[in-house]
């Protein structure tokens, strides 16, 4: 019986040891599964939520984890952030944007004996709380009366108080107090490719229209016409693909921080997405002059020049491929008094080199009227310097 009992017990004893081993095996397996699951969660987190994960996903070609499209999620976030910036910029500057209706008396109708009324529309933006408004000179040119309408729908009579003699800029005044103003930025810090926002009175009927684009290029030179045969050469312009339409002229071009970095001025009619804006630093210089003197003063030398490009230098067989070729000199002007002659090539003003992107007129405007500058010129292949006392243009 002892043997039988032992034999009976052996199976039971053997079964007990197997049971312990079995639970140890199950426990170990469960622990390994838990560790693997935790590792999977950590890997998912690393792939979806970290900057290093982005590089790893790209390397592994993984853009979808457990049904979550990581790439589109990050893209959606960027789009939301950009949209929020545009919305906030518009809220910040939009209230300071105004529409300007210019009215003038047209020619008398020979049949009725009555004069026709001509109207045109543009845009401006308020720069002081007491009603000083910046706009394009061509917006107010020829106008006899002006109606300024704010974003809130209030209307005021506007009066032109100053115009830039050499640039497409003008200042207008309305009799008001406590107006919202636009924050002026720094156009020298603008970079090609950055997002910009244009606001304006599109087509003269869609007030405060907002469009979005990028800075396509800097330092553009264009011949801007008004459709009636009049044109002027504008340089140093910002090129943008933000939609600019008739009526947008004089409106602000903003960065995403809601700062005005340009004034919408011209558009290429036979192309799409090619608009131009005056750098806001041009306006800031005019404001400085206006605040000091009550008018916009510009320096000048009194010489008609042609900017030299590589193509012009090659065709005309000039000794240099940049600078300003003097076409003619105004009698009695600062240039004439300094001894500058036609066919001279001005290569430098003080230490500022004259180039295609820094033409002579723009370089001269950096200095104040009455200031003396030294011009480096080439005459008959010889380099020489002449001192010029800058003249004054203004009204």
Query: Which residues lie closer than 8 Å to 202 by C-beta, 6 or more apart?
Result: 209, 245, 246, 247, 248
Higher pLDDT, 23 or 216: 216
Torsion over CA of 199, 187, 78 and 248, rounded to 10 degrees? 10
Q: Which fold has domain 297-394?
A: Pdz3 Domain (2.30.42)
The pLDDT of residue 157 is: 96
The pLDDT of residue 51 is: 47
Mean pLDDT of 97-102: 95
pLDDT tens-place string over residues 6-45: 333 333 334 444 554 455 555 565 666 666 655 555 554 4
Query: Which residues lie closer than 8 Å to 377 by C-beta, 6 or more apart?
Result: 340, 344, 345, 346, 347, 383, 384, 385, 386
Q: Supply the mean pLDDT for the chain.
A: 82
Model confidence at 169: pLDDT above 50: yes
Helix/strand/coil for 290: helix
Model confidence at 135: pLDDT above 50: yes
Helix/strand/coil for 218: strand
Helix 51-60 with 70-93: angle, nearest 10 deg:
130
The pLDDT of residue 332 is: 92
pLDDT tens-place string over residues 140-153: 998 999 999 999 99
Range in 29-38, 164-173, 369-378 with the lowest mean pLDDT: 29-38
Give the whole-angstrom CA distance, residue 86 versus residue 265: 21
CATH number of 183-291: 2.40.10.10
Written as six digits, the tokens of 253 are: 């071009």
Written as six digits, the tokens of 172 are: 């207008």
Would you call 157 a catalytic residue per the annotation? no
The pLDDT of residue 222 is: 84
Q: Which of 120, 121, 249, 289 is catalytic?
A: 249
Mean pLDDT of 213-225: 86
The pLDDT of residue 112 is: 73
Taking phi over 0 as left and psi of -120 to 50 as alpha, with beta for the rest, 379 belongs to: beta
CB 252 within 8 A of CB 240: no
Ordered by start, the domain boundaries in the chain are 2-62, 183-291, 297-394
Would you call 365 a catalytic residue per the annotation? no
Which of 212, 320, 225 is closest to 266 using CA atoms?
Answer: 225
Q: Name residue, tokens 């457990």.
A: 66
Q: Which of 164, 168, 235, 344 is catalytic?
A: 168
pLDDT tens-place string over residues 234-243: 889 999 999 8
Q: Which of 99, 102, 121, 138 is catalytic?
A: 138
């Amino acid at each position: 019986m002892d043997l039988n009992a032992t034999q009976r017990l052996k199976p039971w004893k053997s079964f007990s040891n197997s049971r312990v081993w079995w639970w140890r095996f199950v426990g170990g397996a469960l622990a390994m599964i838990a560790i693997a699951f935790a590792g999977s969660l950590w890997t998912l987190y690393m792939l979806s939520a970290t900057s290093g994960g982005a590089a790893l996903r790209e390397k592994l070609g993984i853009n979808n984890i457990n049904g979550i499209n990581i790439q589109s999620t990050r893209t959606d976030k960027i789009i939301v952030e950009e949209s929020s910036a545009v919305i906030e910029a518009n809220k910040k500057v939009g209230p300071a944007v105004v529409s300007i209706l210019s009215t003038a008396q047209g020619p008398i109708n020979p049949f009725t004996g009555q004069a026709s009324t001509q109207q045109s529309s543009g845009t401006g933006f308020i720069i002081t709380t007491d009603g000083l408004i910046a706009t394009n000179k061509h917006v107010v040119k020829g106008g006899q009366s002006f109606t300024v309408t704010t974003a809130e729908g209030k209307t005021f009579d506007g009066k032109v108080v100053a115009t830039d003699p050499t640039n497409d800029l003008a200042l207008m005044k309305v009799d008001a107090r406590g107006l919202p103003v636009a924050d002026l930025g720094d156009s020298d810090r603008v970079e090609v490719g950055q997002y910009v926002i244009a606001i304006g009175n599109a087509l003269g009927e869609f007030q405060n229209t907002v469009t979005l684009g990028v800075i396509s290029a800097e330092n553009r030179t264009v011949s801007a016409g008004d459709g009636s045969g009049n044109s002027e050469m504008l340089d140093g312009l910002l090129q943008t693909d933000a939609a600019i339409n008739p009526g947008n002229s004089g409106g602000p071009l903003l960065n995403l921080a809601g700062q005005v970095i340009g004034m919408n001025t011209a558009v290429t009619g036979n192309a799409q997405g090619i608009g131009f804006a005056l750098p806001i630093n041009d306006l800031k210089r005019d404001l400085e002059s206006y605040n000091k003197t009550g008018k916009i003063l510009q320096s000048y030398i009194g010489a008609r020049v042609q900017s030299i490009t590589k193509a012009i230098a090659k065709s005309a067989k000039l000794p240099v491929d940049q600078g300003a070729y003097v076409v003619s000199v105004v009698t009695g002007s600062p240039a004439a008094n300094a001894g500058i002659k036609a066919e001279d090539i001005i290569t430098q003003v003080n230490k500022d080199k004259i180039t295609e992107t820094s033409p002579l007129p723009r370089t001269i405007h950096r200095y104040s009227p009455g200031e003396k500058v030294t011009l480096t010129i080439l005459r008959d292949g010889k380099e020489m310097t002449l001192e010029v006392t800058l003249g004054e243009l203004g009204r």
